[in-house]
Structure 1
């Protein structure tokens, strides 16, 4: 009920915003604030709601803010490179709704993320590489007392400076051991979802199988435990409905920013070796008979189908509200799909496909970090093309900030760059990024950097460990073969320029650094370190210099004091000591 009360109060706030917009002198709204229909708890809980924000604006400012575009971030989880229609043209995974907006927008062909959820989300939020904010090592598991340091300003805080209302729905995964790490304390006016990496879709429990079996409920709204212990609606559908309602209730004359982070297509969390997609409506009517015997792959196809349906639902919500043509939509995956061969190291596999790219989630090979992304924005003068420039996920902060009318000079201390002007006039403006640091992690000993030479070629150094260094290969999409690839060509189809999945010059990065020409040979089958020693040395020196900018890794082990059994079965901010339990108001 609390969530619906929020939306009801927000609708009243919308009416107040409309009154203010109609009369810039009507800034004294004390009489409206005493409206008995308006829940005072709502105002206390959300001090930066549209009504309070409007009350603080100087006359004339509201109309300026209203001209800014809305921003919808749609982040997919553990999505394989080959698992969307527009990428490799897979016949297994029709995604017509996502494909339509990708082809009508700008597809980012060289979009790079970090190899795991937490590092990627920290870079996305801060506009800095994960190693520059202490989030370079691993993904946060429940009960671990670490998170994105609160000293770093993040996206919702920047967009609030531009007059935006800010919402987050879905997965957070940037810390929950103190309330200051909750999204409700980091610039979001409204938050609904889980702070963990995933949850059971029906009772919202999250936890560990190793080192000890432990689980607790993890669903929260505005930082407080959400009183729903069991649901007939699966979690992905629950958050999609919440996002639809937020769009419907959004103030008509005030821009909003929404970070929608779905758990689709992440591995299930009941056991870490199988896909958790028992939702009947997610199961596709598979046309390819060759895939039917691959039971887990079929479940994953249902999950991908649900991802496409969810995207369509949010687009329809924008249309119903009448704001689609003033909304920037970003589709982005946090990392590649986790392969079965690496399941023991990354909490399982979802049977997604990165083929023909090498390896997957948790590694710095292309299958783990070259991720799917596009931008759709009606205000862009040129759309419907493939953007081949290097783009790092941290670049979304300055790019969107500039797209919203902000001055990127205000974004002090970030390492990301804006591509907004380049999007507008691709041929008049040169590339804005000539290197991407895929990660530098001294704890697990993983590091990689990609640079663009003056001739436009991309060279990539990769060194250190790959889990336990037992598997570094490629995995063909389940159900396919060389005689039946189940795909059609697309503008993004990767051409390996060599036999797919066959290593020519071996790469053993735990012994010596590897070097790849990923322009000519994007599938990383040919290690050319011995052929181009000067290029290798150049990248090694650059990595060494960048490592000097590293922030100390924040990772810490599981703390038994966090055990949900101590708190009625809930994960709580146990490190707050005096504020572990939710406030009563």
Structure 2
């Protein structure tokens, strides 16, 4: 009798542990991050793009047309995983580079750490880009039960090779990068296979093997449509009748392949009986890269800049918990808000976390007003000869102080015509800003950032500069010198952990 009672009590405790607050069933969470997706490269902004699965999700969900991220891959991913502005945790400059001994600080509690504690099984598939040089940095030691994909950034889709400068062969160090729970992924059926197709198969295997009664966090971090420009021909050929430039055809095909894989994943969740209990959040990690055929039209700027073309994300939400669907929300959200939003979605409380993020859960699900009215874009002023800029948003105002990009080099800082039928034309008549520039934009009146009104609003400039000064007291930069111990030639031509220590 005592044994039966104890068993019954155990079942009740276990059941409650999987339900979240107030006994509600915890949703499965599908968190999808596109890589370098341009503002104008999705069908709800541009009907020329072939993204039917995402369009269907958006039509039956909520388009988040006022979501902001960071200028590039690692800074945004650090916000997602930590809930902190990237400049407050040292990750704002460029990216976590494979030849430098750094990564997402290990003292941080990550989003998957918290979701694990809430009873979730956590899976990562795709691109990590938050450090790898020490075992403590890799995903399976940062809250993920399983991870399949790349530790680094711009990996070749077919060869799975990369360098410290991006594409294979362009840098000093070159090696393979593909892991499954820390083990090398290679051999027959892997080598020479387009990586996103391998990701698709892994995703389907994960869903097929997952217990539907256990809440799942599936972080699908695509490399698509990031460079290098490469895609199976059938996707490129879908744009033969609408696009003239070859690069734009390939890029557009990459976007369509991403959309197809998302459709495969949602179909698999339906077959597994999990879809009706799934909350999906989709967004890009930064603006599109115009150098590789993306388009941010009509926004100003490219990936890597502090203009909205660099930091405004294509985004939408769908599924469990959303009360009203089929509309566009213009409420403000930032990448740091994903951390508390998904914790609240899981039934957790967010007040205990001393972070920069504020939950957007009720904003998304119940059409409540956003708790956010501004955000720190960046303070990136500590790397000699490479960074000079800081930027902040406060209400309708955006201030950029210094060079408006993460590196003091020629950048795409202007506007571009939509590259569907003609080559994009840069407005090159504008002078290239210098490190002493000051921009002030009224983002409500001038969302394309065409009119610098700093001279007309000195009081606003002073107030915004004062806010930046407050942030400067708590920001820092982790961008150490390169270390030759990273060299893949030392480890059978693989980028490998174990050559750096944790500070």
TM-score under structure 2 length normalisation: 0.90
What is the aligned counterpart of 1:222 among 181, 189, 195? 181
Write the deviation string for residues 496-545 of structure 1: whole angstroms up to 9, x where unpaired.
xxxx9879998836233110011111111100001111111111111111
Once superposed, what is the RMSD of the aligned Cα atoms? 2.6
Aligned to 1:355: 297
Corresponding pairs, count: 484
Say whether the 8 Å CA contact 1:94–1:305 is kept in structure 2: yes
Aligned to 1:235: 195
Say whether the 8 Å CA contact 2:18–2:25 is kept in structure 1: yes
1:243 Cα deviation after fit? 1.1
1:507–1:529 distance in 2 versus 1, CA, 3 Å: farther
Write the deviation string for residues 459-480 of structure 1: whole angstroms up to 9, x where unpaired.
1101222344645211222234
1:575 Cα deviation after fit? 2.1
Aligned to 1:325: 276
Give 5+ residue unaligned stretches, structure 2.
none
Aligned to 1:344: none
SS at match of 1:438: strand
Q: Does 1:553 align with 2:477?
A: yes
Please list, as runs of the form range in 1=range in 2, the aligned pairs for 1:110-509 lying within 5 A after superposition.
110-208=66-164, 212-228=171-187, 230-268=190-228, 275-277=229-231, 279-286=232-239, 288-289=241-242, 291-292=243-244, 294-340=245-291, 350-410=292-352, 412-426=353-367, 429-442=368-381, 443=383, 444-452=387-395, 458-465=396-403, 466=405, 467-468=407-408, 470-471=410-411, 472-480=413-421, 508=433
Aligned to 1:575: 499
1:104 Cα deviation after fit? 1.5
**Which sits farther off after the overlay, 195-204 or 221-230?**
221-230
Write the deviation string for residues 141-174 of structure 1: whole angstroms up to 9, x where unpaired.
2222111110001110010111100000110000
Write the deviation string for residues 320-359 of structure 1: whole angstroms up to 9, x where unpaired.
111111001111100111222xxxxxxxxx2111111111
1:214 Cα deviation after fit? 2.2
| Matches of 1:197 and 1:559, distance apart in 2 | 18
Give 5+ residue unaligned stretches, structure 1.
1-22, 29-53, 269-274, 341-349, 453-457, 486-499, 578-585
SS at match of 2:65: strand
| Matches of 2:359 and 2:173, distance apart in 1 | 43
| Matches of 1:371 and 1:240, distance apart in 2 | 24
Say whether the 8 Å CA contact 2:159–2:192 is kept in structure 1: no
Say whether the 8 Å CA contact 1:506–1:527 is kept in structure 2: no
| Matches of 2:17 and 2:85, distance apart in 1 | 34
SS at match of 1:357: coil
| Matches of 1:205 and 1:481, distance apart in 2 | 33
1:211 Cα deviation after fit? 8.1
Say whether the 8 Å CA contact 1:563–1:571 is kept in structure 2: yes
Aligned to 1:524: 449
1:282 Cα deviation after fit? 2.4
**Which sits farther off after the overlay, 530-539 or 71-80?**
530-539
| Matches of 2:409 and 2:131, distance apart in 1 | 29
1:86–1:223 distance in 2 versus 1, CA, 3 Å: same
TM-score under structure 1 length normalisation: 0.78
SS at match of 1:332: strand
| Matches of 2:182 and 2:493, distance apart in 1 | 16
| Matches of 1:94 and 1:126, distance apart in 2 | 33
Say whether the 8 Å CA contact 1:506–1:526 is kept in structure 2: no
1:214–1:323 distance in 2 versus 1, CA, 3 Å: same
1:198 Cα deviation after fit? 2.5
